[in-house]
Structures are given as structure tokens and as C-alpha cells.
Amino acid sequence: MHESCGHCGQNNLMTQLRTNYWIVLGNAIVKTVIRECLVCRRLSRHPVVQVMAELPSDQLCPDEPPFTNTGSDCFGPFLVKQGRSTVKRWGAIFTCLTSRAVHLEVIDTMEQDSFVNAIRRFVARRGPIKRMWSGNGTNIVTMERELREALQCFNEGEIRDILSIRGAEWNFHPPHASHFSGTTDETLCTLFCEVEAVVNSQPLTKINDNLNCPAPLTPNMILTFKGSPDPFTSTCKKGMYVKR
């Protein structure tokens, strides 16, 4: 279950298990499974512990709808098949600064128009926003030179104007201020949606061994007023090749 949920954390794993099973001393067993998982041990290592500044006011608006204040960033590229050719695709991530929910979009090219279209799709599906925070080009966390150079070519003024028409404000993070973010083509789109669902299933509250403990709150509950979807990812390589 831990692997099928994308190597999720303790609260998330306990939440998924509770939908079908009641395990005696489940938290202790879950901690052991995660502690002995080599993938999690490798991914959870941090070279340094950064001292966080105070949270911006945009992250402390509990009465606003999800994605009213949003952070955005780009990542990639990914190589995908298109007919007989191999083309590059990028990703755009939008995160709600209050609920920590995420929304993922596939970007065909790292041109400004493609990024603006991703914003338009995001607003169409998630509703209007008031403020958008974005990495400032060279400050984006990536080792991809191509991505950094493409982001530097974006006309910040034009993007601001497009969003201002919709009543939204565009802001760029100051340099080195990491606390401001906190945080085939069809197959790639599907993967992004599945990753989005896994991240949005992460519990925001603790779960304990009390039988009467309510289900923990997740970003998916805030977005859909429903629970998180069942695990759907697979670590088996069978069926991952060619057109399958």
C-alpha cells in the first residue's frame, strides 16, 4: 500500500489503510515500514535545515476559497513520443498558498503564450484568483539551463496585464526567498493528474489509533468536498512499455 500510494507519509498511509482495514498499533507498524523503505530514506534526506522567515500574509487566509492566492513554478523537460518523433514537454505547477492543494498543467513549449494558456486553463478549472506568486526566472529551482533561459525571455509586464484583466495580481518572489512558495502527450497528462491526486491526498491533520478519530482533512476534501481517490499507481513495470 505504501508503494502504491507513491511512497506517501505516515498520515497519508494510515488514511488509505483505514478505508479497508483496522490494524492494531497501526501507527507503529506504518512508521516501521516507512523507516525501512530505502526510497523514502533517500528522498527524505536534507543536506541543510533552512531557518524559515515568517509566513507571508497570503498564506494565512483561511476564509478565502482554494487557489485565491496561488504560487506557480515550471519544471521539466520531459521527452514524450509524438508519432515517430520525440518532443519536449514541460510542467507548470500551481499551489494554493493556504490549503497547499496543487494543480498541474502540461506545457507544450517554454514560450510565453504556452505558459499563459496554462494559466488560463488553470483559472477555467479552479476559478478566479486574486494573487499569483511566481519564481523570478533565474531563481527557479532547477538545473535545466534551457528552462532558465526560456523563463528569462518571458515578458513579465504582458503576463501582469493579462491577469489584471481578470482582476488578478502578479507578483515575483524576491531572490532566495524560498519561504514564499513553501512549496506520449496523453500519458504525460494522465501522469500529471495522478501526481496531482496523490499530493492532494496528503492529510493536513494528524491521525491516531483512536477508533472514534474522524477522517483527517486533505486538500482533496477542500477542493471536491469528497474523500481522496483510492490508490491507483503501480510500481510494476509490466504494461508500461510501447503503446500499453
Please report the pLDDT score of residue 110 as a whole number.
80
Please report the pLDDT score of residue 182 as a whole number.
43
Residue ranges of domains in the chain = 57-180
pLDDT tens digits, 119-158: 888 888 888 788 877 765 443 333 345 555 655 666 666 6
Single out the residue of 208, 235, 193 nearest to residue 11, CA to CA. Answer: 208
Single out the residue of 12, 7, 72 nearest to residue 218, CA to CA. Answer: 12
pLDDT tens digits, 183-194: 476 777 878 888
In the CATH scheme, what is the homologous superfamily, with its name and number, of domain 57-180? Ribonuclease H-like superfamily/Ribonuclease H (3.30.420.10)
Query: Is the entire prediction scored with pTM above 0.85?
Result: no
